[in-house]
Amino acid sequence: MQVLLLATLLWGTASAQAPASAPQTQVVVAPARAAGSDTTRIQQLRALVEAAEIALEADEEERAAARCEEADVLTADWSLELLKQAEVQGLLQRLKEVQEQLTEETTPETEPGLKAPDEVVSISGDELRAELELVRSAEQGTTYDYPIDLNDKVLTWVSLFSTTKRGFMENALGRASMYMPMIRQVFAEEGVPSDLAFLAVIESGFRNEAKSRAKAVGMWQFIRSTGRIYGLNGNAWVEERRDPMKATRAAARYLKRLYEISGDWYLAASSYNAGPLTLERAIQNVGTRNFWDLSRSRWLRTETKNYIPELCAAILVGRNPERYGLRIVPLVPYAYETVTVSSMTSLTVLARCAGTDATTLKALNPELLRGSTPPGTYQLRVPPGKALDCLRQLAHMPATKRLDFNSYTVRKGDTLAKVAKRFKLNPEDLLAANDLTLKQFRPGQRLLVPPPPAIGLEERDIGSGTGRVKALGDRPLAPLPTTPREVDAPSDTPTRAELPPPVTVGGPPAPALPKEPTVAVVAPARATTNPETASPALTLLRAKQGDTLAKLARLHKVSLGELIRLNPEVAKALHPGDEVRLPGHGAEAKVAPATSHRVKKGETLAAIARKYSLSPADLKAWNQLKGERIQAGQRLRLAPR
């Protein structure tokens, strides 16, 4: 209940006290719903969530994904009052967990940002000391308003940004030069550290068109539900999560609210990535609010463990890119004037009126999904100095010349829903585009058809119904697994005493870390065998490339739910080399050592050698390598032939 109250506090006050300078957003007040109607909606959501959980446990991923999609459609138009109810928040959290498991069991798409889902081996020894000296030299005279810890994890990402990921950083920081003045102004108005602007490097690389596999959209990667809470709406015409001004304002308010709840900027940024409920659960189970302690536990995903080191490194490199050898080509700052367009108008027509081209208008108005403004009044952004000319041209333009759309004649047997779906429109939007009522829609009617969207629309944007699902009754959540015992550091791994001391650049000093030696490797928690608690009827195997828990459950004819219960440490993400417990033939089974390794993006030969306690020279000899260069996807032998 404490976690649900946290979510209620977070989402219930999100839209309060907007400053006078904030952009005006049209707010549609939904009519009051009867209590019985809300009860029915919640019952439908519960049935869908439970059906998805049962389908996932039965290893029916497609059916589970379909139920999740239906739940998304069902809740798309719910009021904020209904969304923030504790019962609804609990169901949405369960739905999110199902979706995360489904995401892990599919091949992830390449995301436009830098969120790293895989382990990153920290540099150590001379490399670490050299990188520390470089950072200290580069940061002379620079002050920060976000706390930055110079530990091995942060320095590793600084090294990656200036070497392996240098091309991405140069492109991302080039795009950042366009939006940074606007972002700093908005963050200053909202009371958020300006250095947090570099969060957009990690999230999207400053791309407004970015879309993740989890359907997060825009520069700040809002999912639909959180975006709606912070005033970002969307339909078949407009997706405000892609608007840099509106989304930046929403991100600033969201980050500020997360900080008000957590009291720590590291925890606020971590909550932005993982969600406040996930982070609060980790805090309760580990018993600390120190991010670095949380990152050594198994209660956070590897992506979240990497998030703060990536952010700190992005700030360090982003503030002084030339000192790290990066060459940034600055872009023209994002500037515009606004024109009130009274009715739906094609962008090509508006471009002629403003003396520019449609591509420029689309760049200034990335929230527009189609080649026109939406039905009704719209505030269009045009290049500076073009507003007056555009208004003069529009004032003398007849309504018949505002659109250059194709036309469609309604045929016998056509229905409004059928025609709307054909052209990826909501039925109401199709009527609005032609200034028609439902009674006027009939065979022989000539319709103007807007162009298709520039990006794929979600089903809820073009209208989608949900099938009837039989209620399955209440089913309590399984208890969370206990925190694992500490894993002893390998003898050949440098301890904290052997590393350069952490340095804080700007901001308050970092919280003190435990005195015991800790492993200087950023890696997900591995499954360990504890002889005091291990079941006598377990078999251990080591995961191979491409293995997932669902795949192993099918192969060994084991329930997926049982496999998740036995392996909570790898339930979120299974990596090659992870140990997996199977109910089977006794605990005497030996774990076969890994014999090969598939190179991941950003890995070096030295890092792979450290991971498996091997010599780089041996790796080169066993794989007949002439130099140190390796490529992502390449498979390396870890033993002689």
Least confident of 87-101, 329-343, 481-495: 481-495
Query: Vertex 600, ends 597 and 605: CA angle to 5°?
Result: 65
- Which tokens go with 188? 């200053």
Q: Which of 104, 134, 166 is the last residue of a domain?
A: 104
Residue 570 predicted with pLDDT over 90: no
Note every long-range contact of 275-278, with CB atoms under 8 Å and residues 24 or more positions apart, other chains counting: 275/96, 276/6, 276/7, 276/10, 277/3, 277/6, 277/7, 277/89, 277/93, 278/304
Task: Judge if 198 and 256 occupy the same domain.
Answer: yes
According to DSSP, residue 31 is labeled: P
Predicted local distance difference test score (pLDDT) of residue 85:
85
| Residue at 472: amino acid letter | L
Predicted local distance difference test score (pLDDT) of residue 404:
65
Q: Return d(Cα 627, Cα 641) in angstroms, integer.
A: 20
Say if residues 152 and 520 touch (Cβ distance below 8 Å): yes
In this structure, the strands spanning 148-149 and 378-382 are: unpaired
Q: Which of 403, 425, 447 is the last residue of a domain?
A: 403
Residue 507 predicted with pLDDT over 70: no
Task: Judge if 182 and 238 occupy the same domain.
Answer: yes
Q: Return d(Cα 444, Cα 408) in angstroms, integer.
A: 9
**Average pLDDT, stretch 392-415?**
83
Say if residues 148 and 139 touch (Cβ distance below 8 Å): no
Q: How confident is the model at residue 509 (pLDDT cuts 50, 70, 90)?
A: very low
Q: Give me the domain span that covers residue 96.
A: 2-17+32-104
Task: Judge if 65 and 180 occupy the same domain.
Answer: no
Give the chain's domain count.
4
Predicted local distance difference test score (pLDDT) of residue 398:
84
For residue 291, the domain's CATH number is 1.10.530.10
Task: Judge if 73 and 173 occupy the same domain.
Answer: no
**Average pLDDT, stretch 471-495?**
32
Predicted local distance difference test score (pLDDT) of residue 281:
87
According to DSSP, residue 458 is labeled: P
Of 538, 547, 556, nearest to 594 by C-alpha is 547
CB atoms within 10 A of CB 357: 13
Predicted local distance difference test score (pLDDT) of residue 460:
46
Residue 119 predicted with pLDDT over 50: yes
Task: Judge if 132 and 248 occupy the same domain.
Answer: yes
Residue 72 in any domain: the answer is yes
Least confident of 61-75, 82-96, 305-319, 353-367: 61-75
CA 312 from centroid of its chain's CA atoms: 18
Least confident of 77-81, 289-293, 323-327: 77-81
Most confident of 149-153, 413-417, 431-435, 623-627: 149-153
Predicted local distance difference test score (pLDDT) of residue 627:
78
CA distance readout (Å), 430 to 76, 234, 436: 20, 16, 9
Q: Which residue has the higher pLDDT, 342 or 553?
A: 342
Task: Judge if 179 and 314 occupy the same domain.
Answer: yes
Most confident of 190-194, 410-414, 453-457: 190-194
- Which tokens go with 183? 């972002």
Of 578, 640, 632, nearest to 605 by C-alpha is 632
Residue 344 in any domain: the answer is yes
Q: How confident is the model at residue 490 (pLDDT cuts 50, 70, 90)?
A: very low
Tell me what the pLDDT averaged over the chain comes to: 76
What pLDDT, in 10s, does the model give residues 314-325? 999 999 999 999
Residue 305 in any domain: the answer is yes
Percent of the chain with pLDDT over 70: 75
Residue 551 in any domain: the answer is no
Residue 508 in any domain: the answer is no
Q: How confident is the model at residue 466 (pLDDT cuts 50, 70, 90)?
A: very low
Residue 21 predicted with pLDDT over 50: no
Q: Which of 324, 352, 374 is the last residue of a domain?
A: 324
What pLDDT, in 10s, does the model give residues 194-214? 999 999 999 999 999 998 877
| Residue at 239: amino acid letter | E
Task: Judge if 211 and 149 occupy the same domain.
Answer: yes
Task: Judge if 130 and 175 occupy the same domain.
Answer: yes
Residue 545 in any domain: the answer is no
Residue 150 predicted with pLDDT over 50: yes
Task: Judge if 297 and 363 occupy the same domain.
Answer: no
Q: Which residues pair with 504 in a beta bridge?
A: 149
Q: Return d(Cα 175, Cα 160) in angstroms, integer.
A: 19
**Average pLDDT, stretch 466-487?**
31
What pTM did the predictor assign?
0.56
Percent of the chain with pLDDT over 90: 32
Predicted local distance difference test score (pLDDT) of residue 257:
93
- H or E element in which residue 598 lies: strand 596-598
Q: How confident is the model at residue 18 (pLDDT cuts 50, 70, 90)?
A: very low
Residue 489 in any domain: the answer is no
Q: 317, exposed or middle or buried, with CB in 10 Å at 0-12, 13-18, 19+?
A: buried
Predicted local distance difference test score (pLDDT) of residue 634:
87
